[in-house]
Amino acid sequence: MGQVRPYYADRGLSAAFYDTVTGADERLAGDIAIYADLAGTEGRILELGAGTGRVAYALAALGHRVTGIEIAPAMLAQAQARRAEVPADIGHRVTLRRGDMTSIDLKQEFDLVVCPYFTLAHVPRGAAWKNTFATAARHLRPGGLAAFHLPLLEVMRRPGPVNPAVPVLDRPTPAGGRLLLYIRQRSFRAEVGRLDQVIEYVEHDARGAVLRRGDERLTYYLTDPQPPAASVGLLCDRAPIPLGGVGEIWVFVKA
């Protein structure tokens, strides 16, 4: 194994092919409708970890005003480019900012904060989780809701593929080739709730020749979200909403 990049890094393939991979992920089906339902009519929404804008533009298309915070330039650039691909009124309802969800202060209030697709699990549990909940609380009006989509512990515990030579994903690329993903390393440490994976991305052209390849490290952290949320005034509002058999959306209300 050569150089291992962090996920979503500049020039990394996880950022370049985020929409190709996520668009194929049926385990996310229905997440937008859940967030839209929590937002009510034309609610103001803050998205923590907006990525390429998958959620932000979809919620804007439903009439919501969305501010998306994203730390990775390679992801933010794609979210900004997406504005040119949507009708102007939808684009106008989306504001994008580079920032760190563990510390940002926009000095604005929202009706709903969303942190979709395991984004909270990307930062270490402990101070980073508590600080992210504090960001959510700081930006919510009293009575506002915060939704955090987290992976299930039993899914994080699963071993890697029996045959690592078989791709875990094989999808057509926008350029007419194929993208193959392989799990090269996977280990879960229960005592710290940490899953480490090295995922190899391989892009083939239409004739099957390898165009690009790269190894990228994806780490997820998991713990009970209720204590750090409660410590900043976010109280669990209902039972977590199951999503796609691999995760659940925790909903908190600002007291």
Ligand X SMILES: C[S@@+](CC[C@H](N)C(=O)[O-])C[C@H]1O[C@@H](n2cnc3c(N)ncnc32)[C@H](O)[C@@H]1O
Q: Which residues bind ligand X (CB under 6 A)?
A: 8, 22, 49-51, 54-55, 69-72, 75, 100-102, 116-119, 122-123
Residue closer to ligand X, measured from CB, 14 or 182: 14
Q: What is the DSSP pairing of strand 44-48 with strand 65-70?
A: parallel
Minimum distance between the CB of residue 255 and ligand X, rounded to whole angstroms?
24
Minimum distance between the CB of residue 127 and ligand X, rounded to whole angstroms?
12
Q: How far is CA 156 from CA 163, 246, 247, in A?
A: 18, 9, 10
Please enumerate in sequence order all residues whose Cβ is within 8 A of that of 34, keeping only pairs 6 or more positions apart, or say none: 147, 241, 243, 249
**Which residues sit opposite 183 in a β-bridge?**
199
Residue closer to ligand X, measured from CB, 140 or 249: 249
Residue closer to ligand X, measured from CB, 96 or 140: 96
Which position's Cβ is nearest ligand X? 51
Minimum distance between the CB of residue 201 and ligand X, rounded to whole angstroms?
15
Residue closer to ligand X, measured from CB, 186 or 204: 186
Minimum distance between the CB of residue 251 and ligand X, rounded to whole angstroms?
16
Whole-angstrom Cα distance, residue 159 to residue 53? 31
Minimum distance between the CB of residue 231 and ligand X, rounded to whole angstroms?
19
Residue closer to ligand X, measured from CB, 74 or 211: 74
Measured in whole angstroms, how far is the alpha carbon of residue 117 from the centre of its chain?
4
Q: Reduced to 3 DSSP states, what percent helix, strand and coil does the chain have, rounded to the nearest 5?
A: 30, 35, 35
